[in-house]
Chains A and B, each alone.
Chain A
Amino acid sequence: MHESLLIYKKFKYLKLTLTTVILCIVLYLYHSPIGSPNGGTWLGYTLGTLAALIMFWLAWFGARKRSYNKSKGNLEEWASAHVYLGLALVVISTLHSGFQFGLNIHTILYFLMMIVIISGIIGVYFYLKFPSLITKNRNGLTTEMMLTQITEIDEDIRELSMSLDDFTVDLMTKAIEETVIGKSFIIKLKGVDPDCHTSLARKHLREKKFSGNNKIREQLLSKLTRKEKILDQLRNDLKMRSLLQIWLYIHVPFTFAALAALIIHIFSVFYYW
């Protein structure tokens, strides 16, 4: 789906968007209004109406995605159109503004919309980049499988450590019981936990003086290394899956904000016509 989102039906929506955008630019250059270009000329109203309709339609995509109603065309087509028309909005709304910006709701709308579009571009980038990386990173394993592998290694570590000194056992217990995946928002997105108890345990075991059986120590180290590897894999997986979600936390709420601003923009412009 990820490649075909952009090249859907031989760039059908890219072509549509480019045609619309070029038409708008040509009209803008041809149009010679009295005074400086702005939203209040015939072209301004036309571009504004077009931009508003596109905005409402793009927002409707979110609702459409939830309804799973197949009769309205397939979702892939909608997504492709959504991406390209969203990009067209950059040009259409800028031309609508006539490059006039100020401290007002109209410019606020412009910037809210830009935040939505930029987050959308980031989202598309993520959608193109991560799914294949996620598959590669998982290497055929599911999350549950990786988690089971970890608990199995934990069992081994526990058994191996029984005969060791209390301090080492404590370290291993922490490695088993306090290793967390997705500890915080930041760690989730970074994919790296600097205070991971498994890593700490391995470091300690390798660096500190060890009085017990060296063979057990080597076995423990190898188990811990193996566990760390799976943890990395899991954390990387979580990071990429989170990034596929996180842009939506900007994209969707700012869509709501932009829609509110759009309604106020239209209302206020005609209130004080």
Chain B
Amino acid sequence: MKILFSHITRKKRGGIATRNEYAEADTITIGRSTSCELSLLDPRVHLEHAKVVKKLDTYEVIAAEYTLIEVNGELVDKITLKTGDTFLVGPYKIIFESPSSDADLKLSIELTKNLRNQVSDLISRSNIDSSNFGISKRTWSWSLFSIITALFLMIPLLVINSSKENLSSLDPEDLNKSSTSLVSVWSTGEISSPHNFFAHDCEVCHEKPFVPVQNNSCAKCHDDIQHHADTKLFPSASLSDLSCQSCHKEHQGKITVVKNNQDFCASCHDAIQDEPNSLLRNVSDFGKNHPQFNPTVIIDKDKNTNRSLSIGGDPKPIEFSGLLFNHAVHLRETGVRHPNDGIIDLECKDCHVSDSGGVSMLPISFKEHCNSCHKLYFDSSLPERELYHGDTKELFIQVENVYNSIAFQGGYIGKDAPNVIRRRAGQTLSQTERVEAAEWAKRKKEQVLDGRFGKDRCAECHLIKNNEERWTIQSVNITDSWFPKANFTHESHEDMECISCHEANRSEQATDVIQPSIEICQSCHGGENARSKIPSTCVTCHGFHFEHMSPIYPINEVKVKETTILSSLSEKNLALFNKRENNEIP
């Protein structure tokens, strides 16, 4: 059988080139192998791809074992070929032509798909662009810019705007919860605890956008804040030109806005002696540079005079209380004798009790603290009667009345009394007996008042002054605030022994000022930067805005403002504010 292979090549500019090849075989094998009758050198062609076999007068194309072949668009394993049939072998299209004169069988072969094996193919399927990561920097940049702007600028501004508009219609509580968390991203820090109840209402303090918080905002509540010093004597210490904010910084966390920087105080007080009009001594650090304590001692309560003297200085401070008292005797280790209970040990707290706030000591009263031992009996025939304590005039009247009433009633059991006084009670007296009784009463009164049960008894504890009338007790001036410019609480020191600061067990005179010296405090407390001691700053003990100084803001001015400013508080917070003002809530 003679076969004609007609290889067709299409030219780029049109036209067809044909190359004829003849072969002699009974079966035409088609494949990549060079041993095939039709050898097609292409990797897409199998080694043995198909074969064309003559069956009587017809030809059959048969696919290689286990494969199929596409003939006229259909996949078959074998098929009888008709003239014009087309079958595909890899990228080759083979047409079964009508036999020509010089061959029994004609197959025209055309390569339809060229091999892709170019640099451009490799580049096109690869991604060798080092700056191509699937997204452009520009898109990614503006997206982030927009997200940040929307979340942290647009939304807060919208919330602020809508909360202004809807303040009346919305429950402030709901408004606070939902919106403030969105606006709070602007907050520079947590608000201080005392201001927490209006923390969600930014406009309470920040009244106008782009305007710093004004003093008026603070004065809504703090309407009577005083100066630190007399502004006439110390103009440099005037606070009139300062804003509250310059010292009291908010949004610093849940701490107080009261400032405690030692340096702030020391900036003036470390050279305060040089200040004209100043009587103060220099101070800069409690642990290192603080003057000795000067307890303030009342000299004359009536004239309201007092003086401060340094502990351990010369002259040393002396208290003019008008009392005689020996702390050492009362605190001696062997105890003291109680009229009913025998020997008892007295403790400081039996007399000195701090108030419920733990700040100062409650006053000592004779009745409560002295009287159970120190009985003011004055007449053994009147065993339950005690002298009146508190006022000498009342005392004199009391004693006079006691003996007058005995004189007129009788029944007195004293052995030295005349019979008329010892008479049975209720018996009427004659005129002379009356005179005798009155004289006894007068004599007895003077005997008691001027004797050892009266004047002498009082003088055991009090200073006595003789006067035209008789005698009187010098008024008692007990200092209740030894350090009026310092705050001290006994409560925070309650675990300490009293005598570790107050050497009462060694004090025999009431004039002794048994206040601690600075060294005693310094044994535990140091300055603000102390490392091994309790860091204590100026405001640990001292105040700043002093009550006796003039207010920074005149009150009437503030009151007018208050009403207008309070209207800016949301309803809920206004209610809270009013409750607090009226002490309804702590």
Contacts and interface: CB of A to CB of B under 8 A. Distances in A.
Contacts of B249: 34-36, 38, 40
Given A147-B122, A162-B43, A261 B141 contact: no
Nearest to A170: B43
B152 A108 contact: yes
B56 interface: no
A248 B141 CA distance: 11
A112 B148 CA distance: 10
A128 interface: no
B487 interface: no
A163 B34 contact: yes
A152 to B, nearest CB: 10
Interface string A177-191: 111111101001000
Interface string B20-34: 000000000000111
Contacts of B140: 249, 252-253
Contacts of A242: 130-131, 133
Interface string A152-168: 00110010011111100
Contacts of B127: 180-183, 188
Contact of B189 (A100, A177, A254, A271): A100
Contacts of A254: 144
A246 B133 contact: yes
B122 A253 contact: no
Contacts of B135: 249
How many A residues are at the interface, by size bracket? 35 or more
B148 A260 contact: yes
B126 A182 contact: yes
Given A103-B185, A249-B140, A259-B145, A34 B123 contact: no
B246 interface: yes
A50 interface: no
A151 B117 contact: yes
Chain A facing B: main interface SS: helix
Nearest to A100: B189
Contacts of A165: 47
Given A32-B263, A245-B131, A155 B141 contact: no
A177 B116 contact: yes
Given A40-B249, A264-B152, A252 B185 contact: no
A185 B133 contact: yes
A119 interface: no
Given A100-B189, A151-B117, A273-B210, A252 B130 contact: no
Q: Which of B130, B145, B189 has the most CB of A within 10 A?
A: B130
A102 B156 CA distance: 17
A226 B184 CA distance: 63
B33 A163 contact: yes
B567 interface: no
Interface in B1-60: 32-34, 41, 43-44, 46-47
Given A34-B259, A261-B152, A176 B117 contact: yes
Contact of A268 (B118, B142, B156): B156
A271 B206 CA distance: 8
Contact of A257 (B118, B126, B148, B206): B148
Contacts of A100: 188-189, 252
A236 to B, nearest CB: 12
Interface string B170-192: 00000000000000111111100
A165 to B, nearest CB: 6
A25 B327 CA distance: 58
Nearest to A269: B188
A100 B188 CA distance: 9
Interface in A63-116: 100, 102-106, 108, 112
Interface string A19-42: 000000000000010111011100
Nearest to B118: A151
A169 interface: yes
A173 B249 CA distance: 76
Given A36-B252, A272-B206, A273-B213, A238 B119 contact: no
Given A35-B252, A238-B128, A158 B115 contact: yes
A178 to B, nearest CB: 8
A151 B122 contact: yes
Contacts of A105: 152, 185-186
Given A38-B249, A163-B34, A148 B130 contact: no
Contacts of B145: 256-257, 259-260
Contacts of B443: none
A154 B147 CA distance: 49
A253 B188 contact: no
B283 to A, nearest CB: 17
B130 A245 contact: yes
A233 interface: no
A155 B212 CA distance: 78
A188 B184 CA distance: 43
Nearest to A257: B144
Contact of A158 (B117, B156, B190): B117
A38 B188 contact: yes
A39 B188 contact: yes
Contacts of A201: none
Contacts of A155: 117
B41 A162 contact: yes
Contact of A179 (B34, B122, B149): B122
A221 interface: no
Contacts of B152: 105, 108, 260-261, 264
Contacts of A38: 188-189, 249, 252
A257 B151 CA distance: 12
Interface in A216-273: 234, 238, 241-242, 244-246, 248-249, 252-257, 259-261, 263-264, 267-273
A158 to B, nearest CB: 6
Contacts of A259: 145
A143 interface: yes
B137 interface: yes
Contact of A272 (B125, B153, B186, B252): B186
Contacts of B130: 238, 241-242, 244-245
A254 B141 CA distance: 7
B137 A253 contact: yes
Interface of B: 32-34, 41, 43-44, 46-47, 115-119, 121-123, 125-131, 133-135, 137, 140-149, 152-153, 156, 184-190, 202, 206, 209-213, 246-247, 249, 252, 259, 261, 263-264
26 contacts: A34-B259, A34-B261, A35-B249, A38-B189, A102-B190, A104-B184, A104-B185, A151-B119, A158-B43, A158-B115, A166-B46, A169-B47, A181-B122, A182-B127, A183-B126, A183-B127, A242-B133, A246-B133, A249-B137, A259-B145, A260-B146, A260-B152, A268-B156, A272-B209, A273-B206, A273-B210
Given A162-B41, A183-B127, A246-B133, 12 more contacts: A40-B188, A40-B249, A102-B188, A151-B119, A178-B125, A182-B126, A183-B126, A234-B128, A241-B130, A245-B130, A268-B186, A273-B213
User: Nearest 9 CB-CB pairs, A to B?
Assistant: A241-B130, A182-B127, A268-B186, A257-B144, A181-B126, A256-B141, A260-B148, A35-B249, A256-B145
